[in-house]
Amino acid sequence: MLVDAQALRVALPNLSVKRPFRTAPLIHILHGVDFAIRRGEAVGIVGESGSGKTTLGRALLRLVEPTGGTVRFDGRDITHAPEAALRSLRARMTMIFQNPLSALNPRRTVAASVAAPLVAHGGTGDMRKKVLRALDRAGLRKEFAGRYPHQLSGGQRQRVGIARAIVTEPDFILADEIVSGLDVSTQAQILDLLRELRRDMGLALALITHDLSVVRVLCERVVVMHQGRIVEEGDCAALFAAPQHPYTRRLLAAIPLPELDETWLDADTEDAA
C-alpha cells in the first residue's frame, strides 16, 4: 500500500513477533506484517481466535515487543524506544479494553479512573474540568464522577473506559472487542459515540473485533488476519461485497451478516446506556 508518509498516523512495515511457547522456544505470532493507518481513518482488524489480530493491535501501541520490522508513529521510529521515551507518546496512543469491569479499579471512583492517565502523564491545569469534559463527551453526566464501577451498567462502564481513553486528547485509539457482551441497543449507542468522537476529535482508530457487522458500520478499511499474516485488506464495502481470498470468503460465510438497520446512526445517544 503506497501512501504518503505524512498521511500516516501509525505504520508497521514488515513487522514480526515471536514468543516462547510450551512446546517450542519461540513461535511466530506475526510474520512480516505490513500495516498502516492514515490520520483520521478507522480500520477493522478481523480474524479467528489465534489469528494474530490482538498481537498486531498491541504492537501498534508498543505493548508487545517486535522481533523484526518497524513500528512508526507520526513518522517516528519507536520500535526500540525505551519506556521513558514512550511515556510522552502514551497520551497520544490509547486503548479501550474489552472488559471495562476488569479494566477499572473497583476501589476507584469513575473520576479517579478517568483521571489516571492525566496523573500518569504529569497532567497540569484543572484535571477535574478535563475529567468532566471527557465524561460529557462519552455521554455520562457529571453525577457519574463519584460512582464506582459496580454501580454502573455494562454500557456505562464502557463509556467510562472511553472517557479514560480520550481524556488526554489522543490522536490514535485501539479498541479491542469493545461492544462484545453488550446488548444490541447498547452496542449501537457505543458505536454511534465512537463515530462522533472520530469526527469531532479527528481520531485514527484500530478496531479489533469478531463482529463483522460492526466493522461494516464503523470502518472505512478492513484487514483480515490468518495465522499471523494479513491475507487480505481493502475498502470495507468492496471487500465485503467481493472478498478475494478463500479464507476471507470462509470467514464471511461462517458469520451471519444480516442487512443492517442503520437508522440508529442518526439517533441521539442516551446518557445512561
Q: Are residues 158 and 237 in the same domain?
A: no
Grid cell locating 47: 480474524
- Say if residues 218 and 67 touch (Cβ distance below 8 Å): no
The one-letter amino acid code at 107 reads R
**Residues 109 and 69 reside in one and the same domain:** no
Distance between CA 262 and CA 195 in Å, rounded? 13
One domain for residues 77 and 207: yes
Whether residue 114 sits in one domain with residue 63: no
Q: Does 177 map to a domain?
A: no
Based on the domain organization, do 101 and 63 belong to the same domain?
Answer: no
pTM score: 0.86
181 belongs to a structural domain: no
Residue 186 falls within a domain, yes or no?
A: no
Print the domain residue range for 121.
Answer: 93-169
Both 84 and 206 in one domain: the answer is yes
pLDDT(103) > 90: no
pLDDT for the residue numbered 6:
55
What rounded mean pLDDT belongs to the chain? 86
pLDDT of residue 3: 46
Same domain, 113 and 84: no
Residues 158 and 77 in one domain: no
Residue that finishes a domain, picked among 146, 169, 192: 169
Is 179 within a domain? no
For the chain, the first-to-last Cα distance in angstroms comes to 39
Q: Is residue 210 part of a domain?
A: yes
pLDDT of residue 130: 95
Mean pLDDT of 147-168: 95
Domain assignment present for residue 216? The answer is: yes
The residues, ordered by sequence, that sit 6+ positions from 255 with a Cβ below 8 Å of its Cβ are 210, 212
> 191 lies in a domain?
no
Q: Are residues 28 and 157 in the same domain?
A: no
The least confident of 19-28, 98-107, 137-146, 163-172 is: 19-28
124 and 156, same structural domain? yes
Domain count for the chain: 2
Q: Are residues 51 and 36 in the same domain?
A: yes
Rounded distance between C-alpha atoms, residue 209 and residue 137, angstroms: 23
Highest mean pLDDT among 18-22, 48-52, 100-104, 149-153: 149-153
The answer to whether residue 187 sits within a structural domain is no
Give me the pLDDT at residue 2, please: 41
Dihedral of the alpha carbons of 130, 85, 83, 161, in degrees to the nearest 10: 20
Task: Quick: pLDDT tens for 219-271.
Answer: 999 999 999 999 999 999 999 999 999 999 988 887 665 544 445 445 444 44
In this prediction, residue 181 carries a pLDDT of: 80
* Claim to verify: residue 83 and residue 205 sit in the same structural domain: yes
CATH of the domain at 23: 3.40.50.300
